[in-house]
């Protein structure tokens, strides 16, 4: 097209400042590769740590200036839902293409936003909303387009992965590591969004939507976080040849979708078990390509901004070819049936806390067998203590049966079972 692309930025925080830095520092390389440049025309933001990098002229006090006819693409980088949603809808009505890093917005209002974008002939770029610098959205929507995706298994929250990796390495408790993570800036002061699995659930809703053309929202994702993970389970996992990871899994069976986020035992040899620290990893299992796995930084100013700029470039290339073509905006999200987690069949790790006496295992085994649960292996440790852990790894069993069996064991055998029983799914 020859002419430069003009962008407007709404929100100049961590990601917005990263975008400014990339567009300024790498302006030459971007121009050389694209044949045209990308200019920041207008910025609207409450506050910013990188205001000094921009001219006063660029800064505006009226967000409506971002709808200026000279602006081709508007970046929504404020986060949150209400204001961001109103802004994005208004921008689409002004025929602006949008790039957003906002998983909360897209996981809850994606269907509305994409259908509005389709009606108005504009494109929504959202690469940065999942796994920061890992280009997983483009891989699924472009590179694996000729595949039927069977399932997605992913580590999409760097904070949780950091905490679980640190617990594994240091043998320290969840609270100790969480406090360290907050001090070192790897976790927010209020970490619940991350550690309760909500952030992962929003990202999995987006991944499931594009992988299965599914009409899915955050509320459709089953969620468990890592708050209750005890370091003794991390240690038992190690002894049994596993690692504990907070996984997001989306799978389609008989036209029905199940998307869940929960801690999993993952075999130490599995590629996902080897991804530590703040890194994200997404395994896509598809019919033609088989399993492919993508690993990288899931957050941070520059990796995330790199994905935002990649979306700008993608849209700019569409301008060049004469039209904006967004397959996602053409109403491909289909009404979706969901599977209840209770009907899931899985292998399980169960840790009972039991009185160390004769007959305990026989009682537990009896109740498990009543519910069609067969035991793969049993480990009892801590000989000599009053209360000892009894670990059971099961063969494949129905989740509802496992829950019923544990309830019955806890209720009918109060004299031998102490404290809460721990149940963690084992990844196949």
Query: What residues are labeled active site?
Result: 203
As a whole number of angstroms, the distance between CA 291 and CA 289 comes to 6
As a whole number of angstroms, the distance between CA 173 and CA 415 comes to 28
User: What is the b/e burial string over 198-232, where b = at least 16 CB atoms within 10 angstroms of the residue's CB?
Assistant: bbbbbbbbbbbbbbbbbebbbebbbbbbbeebbbe
- For residues 37 to 66, the per-residue mask of contacts with ligand NAP, x marking binding by CB under 6 A and - elsewhere, is -------xxxxx------------------
- In the bound state with ligand NAP, the residue whose beta carbon lies nearer, of 134 and 405, is 134
Question: Does residue 14 bind ligand NAP (CB under 6 A)?
Answer: yes
User: H or E stretch including 310?
Assistant: helix 301-320
Number of chain residues interacting with ligand NAP (CB under 6 A): 23
- In the bound state with ligand NAP, the residue whose beta carbon lies nearer, of 83 and 387, is 83
- In the bound state with ligand NAP, the residue whose beta carbon lies nearer, of 83 and 361, is 83
> Which member of 5, 7, 12, 134 binds ligand NAP (CB under 6 A)?
12
Shortest distance, position 203 Cβ to ligand NAP, whole Å:
9
Q: Name the DSSP letter for residue 340.
A: -
User: H or E stretch including 213?
Assistant: none
Question: Does residue 128 bind ligand NAP (CB under 6 A)?
Answer: yes
- In the bound state with ligand NAP, the residue whose beta carbon lies nearer, of 77 and 113, is 77
Find all residues with CB under 8 Å of 243, minimum gap 6, and list them.
164, 168, 234, 237, 265, 266, 268, 273
> Which member of 5, 54, 74, 102 binds ligand NAP (CB under 6 A)?
102
Tokens in use for 182? 């907050």
Shortest distance, position 12 Cβ to ligand NAP, whole Å:
5
> Which member of 13, 37, 296, 382 binds ligand NAP (CB under 6 A)?
13
Find all residues with CB under 8 Å of 298, minimum gap 6, and list them.
131, 132, 133, 134, 156, 157, 158, 278, 279, 280
As a whole number of angstroms, the distance between CA 223 and CA 186 comes to 21
- For residues 70 to 99, the per-residue mask of contacts with ligand NAP, x marking binding by CB under 6 A and - elsewhere, is -------xxx---x----------------
Q: Whose CB is nearest to ligand NAP?
A: 13
Residues 399/344, Cβ–Cβ less than 8 Å = yes
Question: Does residue 15 bind ligand NAP (CB under 6 A)?
Answer: yes
Question: Does residue 216 bind ligand NAP (CB under 6 A)?
Answer: no
User: Which residue has tokens 């920041």?
Assistant: 40
**169 annotated as belonging to a binding site for a ligand:** no
User: What is the b/e burial string over 137-149, where b = at least 16 CB atoms within 10 angstroms of the residue's CB?
Assistant: bbbbeeebeebeb
Shortest distance, position 396 Cβ to ligand NAP, whole Å:
36
> Which member of 166, 270, 280, 304 binds ligand NAP (CB under 6 A)?
304
* SS (HEC) of 129-196: HCCCCCCHHHHHHHHCCCCCEEEEEEECCHHHHHHHHHHHHHCCCHHHHHHHHHHCCCCCCCCHHHHC
- In the bound state with ligand NAP, the residue whose beta carbon lies nearer, of 185 and 359, is 185
**188 annotated as belonging to a binding site for a ligand:** yes
> Which member of 22, 91, 92, 101 binds ligand NAP (CB under 6 A)?
101
Residues at the interface with ligand NAP (CB under 6 A): 11-16, 44-48, 77-79, 83, 101-103, 128, 132, 299-300, 304
- Residues that constitute the known binding site for NADPH: 103
């Amino acid at each position: 097209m020859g002419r430069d692309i003009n962008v407007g930025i709404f929100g100049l925080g961590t990601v917005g400042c990263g975008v400014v830095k990339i567009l300024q520092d790498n302006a030459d390389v971007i121009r050389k590769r694209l044949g045209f440049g990308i200019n920041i025309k207008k910025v609207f933001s409450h506050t910013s740590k990188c205001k000094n990098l921009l001219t006063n002229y660029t800064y505006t006090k009226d967000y409506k200036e971002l709808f200026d006819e000279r602006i081709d693409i508007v970046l929504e980088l404020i986060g949150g839902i209400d204001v961001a949603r109103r802004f994005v809808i208004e921008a689409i009505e002004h025929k602006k293409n949008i790039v957003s890093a906002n998983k909360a917005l897209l996981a809850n209002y994606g269907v509305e936003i994409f259908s509005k974008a389709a009606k108005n002939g504009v494109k929504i770029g959202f690469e940065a909303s999942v796994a920061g610098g890992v280009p997983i959205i483009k891989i699924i929507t472009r590179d694996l387009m000729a595949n039927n995706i069977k399932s997605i298994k992913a580590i999409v929250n760097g904070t949780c992965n950091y905490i679980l990796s640190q617990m594994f390495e240091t043998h320290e408790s969840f609270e100790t590591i969480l406090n360290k993570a907050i001090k070192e800036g790897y976790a927010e002061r209020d970490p619940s969004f991350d550690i309760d699995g909500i952030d992962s659930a929003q990202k999995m809703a987006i991944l499931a939507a594009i992988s299965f053309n599914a009409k899915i929202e955050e509320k459709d994702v089953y969620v468990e976080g890592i708050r209750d993970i005890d370091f003794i389970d991390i240690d038992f996992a190690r002894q049994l040849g596993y690692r504990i990871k907070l996984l997001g899994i989306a799978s389609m069976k008989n036209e029905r979708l199940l998307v869940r986020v929960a801690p999993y035992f993952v075999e130490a040899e599995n590629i996902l078990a080897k991804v530590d620290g703040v890194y994200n990893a997404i395994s896509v299992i598809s019919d033609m390509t088989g399993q492919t796995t993508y690993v990288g930084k899931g957050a941070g100013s520059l990796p995330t901004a790199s994905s935002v700029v990649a979306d700008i470039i993608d849209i700019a290339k569409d301008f060049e070819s004469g039209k904006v073509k967004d397959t996602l905006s053409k109403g491909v999200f289909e009404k979706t049936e969901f599977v209840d987690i209770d009907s899931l069949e899985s292998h399980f790790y169960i840790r009972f806390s039991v009185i160390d006496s004769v007959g305990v295992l026989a009682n537990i085994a009896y109740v498990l067998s009543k519910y069609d649960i067969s035991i793969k292996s049993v480990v009892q440790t801590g000989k000599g203590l009053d209360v000892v852990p009894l670990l059971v790894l099961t063969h494949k069993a129905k989740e509802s049966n496992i829950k019923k069996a544990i309830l019955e064991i806890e209720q009918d055998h109060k004299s031998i079972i102490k404290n809460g029983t721990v149940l963690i799914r084992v990844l196949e």
